[in-house]
Copies of this chain bind each other. A is one copy, B any other.
Amino acid sequence: MNNFRFYNPTEIIFGKGTIAKLKERLPKKAKILLLYGGGSIKHNGVYDQVIAALNKHRVVEFGGIEPNPDYSTLMKAVKEVRKKKIDFLLAVGGGSVIDGAKFIALASKYEGDNPWHLLSHSEARNATSALPLAVVLTLPATGSEFNRNCVISRREKRAKLSFTSDLVFPQFSILDPETTYTLPVKQIRNGIVDAFIHTTEQYLTYPAGGIVQDRQAEALLLALIECAPLAMQTDPVNYDGRANYMWAASNALNHLISMGVPGDWATHGIGHELTALYGLDHAETLAVVLPWLLWYKREQKKEKLLQCGERVFGVKTGTTEERIDRTITAISAFFHSLGMPTALSSYGIDPDEAAAIVEKRLVKRGATRGEYNDIDGPAAAAILRMSR
């Protein structure tokens, strides 16, 4: 096991009716910027609950944060923060709104020349203060409500960059599973697959002596498989199904299972390219990459694939190669059971063409990923060519 540092001070307030707790939890005298996305919260009752809880607070609204939040949008919010003397951010939404709020929290206190440098020049690392931030989660998937990660896009530069900073841990996050009741089934499916793949990316590498971490990762995979059919129910919705999906997604990326063990974020790396090129949902891109990445790296990942097969999918017999085959097939079959395709061709995308373009983009940037940092442009292309 490698040395590690674990730190996660975000307070989770979980359960039915918890949005009302905003009233007591947000500082009485704070001037709050309420951040949200495309406005779905105005139709599903969440906005009304938030406003009701904050009827004694001073609130300024800033809506319209898009999926893959854009730098230009967020800088408008930063301007608003300064003009209106905002001292607390409240993100109501999913990963995009939360990540947007994290950037706004840092950028509002940034004293350098160019706030983009927080991302492009890793200046977030040197930041010493940020606006405090809280979350009402409405779309469980990214785990952003329970971590210090932030991914921001800048469309004019075709860039999608990230930072991590202890300063942007949400002070608290409210997770009410009932906020998911009005989500389209496709979003639930996406969230489950996203959480599943976040987990495999911290687990399907090579054995590193993390007995506890491996078991904790397997626990999340097993929990996601177990709760998925319940979470997908819509008529009627199943509270415990939604609650477990929500809690599993938060746990999948709160850093715990990655402590002291290697990670392989190549699926995310390649997936981001596919979103940029073809506009697929984030989870859709992950699902058309992961199974093929596992096939491609089956030799390097052999021990962990066998372990995953046995412990998560009950694959205990057969030759090594057969067991690996059946494990990867079982992962794909789980995605299919949720209606999630695992091949680029399912979206009418030519795998050879996608492979060629992604290879060129990655080679140009010199981007590599994987637990051995060996998944480069050509490797990504080989993986994508299999996704048919």
A11 cross-chain contacts in B, Cβ below 8 A: 5-7
Q: Is the pair B3, A7 in contact by a Cβ cutoff of 8 Å?
A: no
Distance (Å) between the CB of A5 and the closest chain B CB?
A: 6
Q: A73 interface residue, CB < 8 Å from B?
A: no
Query: Known contacts A212-B251, A219-B216, A226-B211; is A3 also within 8 Å of B14 by CB?
Result: yes
The distance in angstroms between the C-alpha atoms of A248 and B222, with both chains bound, is 19
Which residue of chain B is the closest to A16 with respect to CB atoms? B3
Q: Is the pair A4, B15 in contact by a Cβ cutoff of 8 Å?
A: yes
- Contact partner, A244, options B5, B209, B222, Cβ 8 Å: B209
A223 cross-chain contacts in B, Cβ below 8 A: 211-212, 214-216
The distance in angstroms between the C-alpha atoms of A57 and B13, with both chains bound, is 39
Which residue of chain B is the closest to A252 with respect to CB atoms? B212
A229-254 contacts to B (CB < 8 Å): 239-240, 243-244, 247-248, 251
- Contact partner, A8, options B8, B16, B211, B247, Cβ 8 Å: B8
Q: Is the pair B215, A222 in contact by a Cβ cutoff of 8 Å?
A: yes
A213 cross-chain contacts in B, Cβ below 8 A: 247
Q: A317 interface residue, CB < 8 Å from B?
A: no
Q: A260 interface residue, CB < 8 Å from B?
A: yes
Contact string against B for A residues 197-219, beta-carbon threshold 8 Å, 1 for contact and 0 otherwise? 00000000000011111111011
Q: A9 interface residue, CB < 8 Å from B?
A: yes
Q: A266 interface residue, CB < 8 Å from B?
A: no
Of A2, A9, A15, A215, the most chain B CB neighbours within 10 A belong to: A215
The distance in angstroms between the C-alpha atoms of A248 and B211, with both chains bound, is 9
- Contact partner, A210, options B7, B13, B244, Cβ 8 Å: B244
Of A2, A15, A216, the most chain B CB neighbours within 10 A belong to: A216
A216 cross-chain contacts in B, Cβ below 8 A: 216, 219, 223, 251
The distance in angstroms between the C-alpha atoms of A3 and B219, with both chains bound, is 21
A51 cross-chain contacts in B, Cβ below 8 A: none
Q: Is the pair B7, A244 in contact by a Cβ cutoff of 8 Å?
A: no
Of A15, A240, A247, the most chain B CB neighbours within 10 A belong to: A247
Contact string against B for A residues 10-23, beta-carbon threshold 8 Å, 1 for contact and 0 otherwise? 01111111100000
The distance in angstroms between the C-alpha atoms of A5 and B226, with both chains bound, is 24
Q: Is the pair B4, A14 in contact by a Cβ cutoff of 8 Å?
A: yes
The distance in angstroms between the C-alpha atoms of A360 and B240, with both chains bound, is 42
Residues of A within 8 A of B (CB): 1-9, 11-18, 209-216, 218-220, 222-223, 226-227, 239-240, 243-244, 247-248, 251, 259-260
Known: A2-B15, A212-B248, A215-B220. 9 other contacts (CB 8 A): A3-B14, A3-B18, A7-B9, A9-B9, A209-B239, A212-B251, A215-B223, A218-B219, A243-B260
The 10 closest A-B pairs by CB, nearest first: A3-B15, A9-B9, A209-B240, A215-B219, A219-B219, A7-B11, A6-B12, A211-B244, A215-B223, A1-B243
Can you pick out 13 interface pairs between chain A and chain B where the beta carbons lie within 8 Å of each other? A5-B14, A6-B14, A7-B12, A8-B9, A209-B243, A211-B226, A212-B244, A212-B251, A214-B223, A215-B219, A215-B223, A215-B226, A216-B223
